[in-house]
Amino acid sequence: MFNDIHASAATAARPKDSLGCLSSQLRQDLELDTGEFKFYRKCTLGSDTSPVTMDGSGRGFLIGVSLQTGHRRRIYSQHRWVTHEFERDCVYVRDFADDYRAELLGGFDFVLIELSRNFVSDACHERGGSGLARIATVAGRKDPVLGHLAQVLALTLNAQSEASPLFIEQLGVTIGTHLLDRYGEASRRSNRNNRGLSALQEARAKEMLLARSQGNVSIEEIASACNLSRSYFIQAFRETTQRTPHQWLLERRIDQARELLKHSNHSLSEIGMACGFSDQSHFTRTFSQLVGMPPGHWRREACR
């Protein structure tokens, strides 16, 4: 009995991260905080069992997406323990307002997204609802859409210095929108959800996107200038242009790069920097993805 008490006290004394995991058991522990969104990558060192206990708080909602198969989790809910199996692309959703008790059984590799309560409340208002966030608590449910987004997010977390703030913000909004669509309480949708931007809004949004050569303008700034919420602005921009703001901006940068490649003697590095890319590698990679060939090859073909 004494040993059990001693072990429990030792476990409680060991440092834990902001999600209740023992920091000493994490092989990979990455975090990116954008304000209304926090993104995490948590991967364990081994297959030890560890407890997670957290009191309720006003932090918002947490979505965990498993990047691998083999994790199990016992969660205390409705006065009983229930074991959930996590394959790849399986998710859990937590409301931080609720007390949380769980036992993590075996190793895991998770991408996690924390959404602020303000973001969820604003998104509910935009959809014509009451603004009261009601999201189903789930565990071990397969969600291929979140699985795909988690893979993108994992790559982004591993290379944070190369990630565009605009892209990261859009990724958070996309995940939050999917969360409400899939797990949120059904609510009355506003009729304007099927409308795109007005001509004035479209012109203003594109002007603001192009005004920042490095693409650091935020969705919040543009949406505010258009008198829209972020989530609705992204939907309306896509409806109008068939592109997300980030995709549209990348295409404009590549258009500018092609003009410079064809009509100037600047080096690839100089052109990449002039068009808002962080370095030549980033420029070459993006150009190849969108055009189908590297910029140097394209320049030789275009200047024949």
- Domain carrying residue 209: 191-242
- Quick one: average pLDDT of 54-59? 89
**85 pLDDT tier (thresholds 50, 70, 90):** very high
pLDDT at 186 exceeding the cut of 90: no
Rounded mean pLDDT of the chain?
82
Does some domain include residue 6? no
pLDDT tens for residues 257-281?
999 998 888 999 999 888 888 888 8
**133 pLDDT tier (thresholds 50, 70, 90):** low
pLDDT at 184 exceeding the cut of 90: no
Q: Are residues 275 and 137 in the same domain?
A: no
Q: Is the pTM of the predicted complex or chain greater than 0.85?
A: no
What CATH number does residue 161 fall under?
2.60.120.10
Q: Are residues 174 and 196 in the same domain?
A: no
Does some domain include residue 219? yes
The DSSP element (H or E) to which 294 belongs, if any, is: none
Does some domain include residue 5? no
pLDDT at 191 exceeding the cut of 60: no
Q: Are residues 63 and 173 in the same domain?
A: yes
Number of domains forming the structure of the chain? 3
Residue 65: name the closest of 163, 151, 156 by CA. Answer: 151
Q: What pLDDT score does 190 carry?
A: 42
Q: What pLDDT score does 86 carry?
A: 94
Q: Are residues 137 and 176 in the same domain?
A: yes
Contacts of the segment 260-265: beta carbons below 8 A, 24+ positions apart: 261/295, 261/298, 261/299, 261/302, 262/299, 262/302, 262/303
Q: What pLDDT score does 43 carry?
A: 92
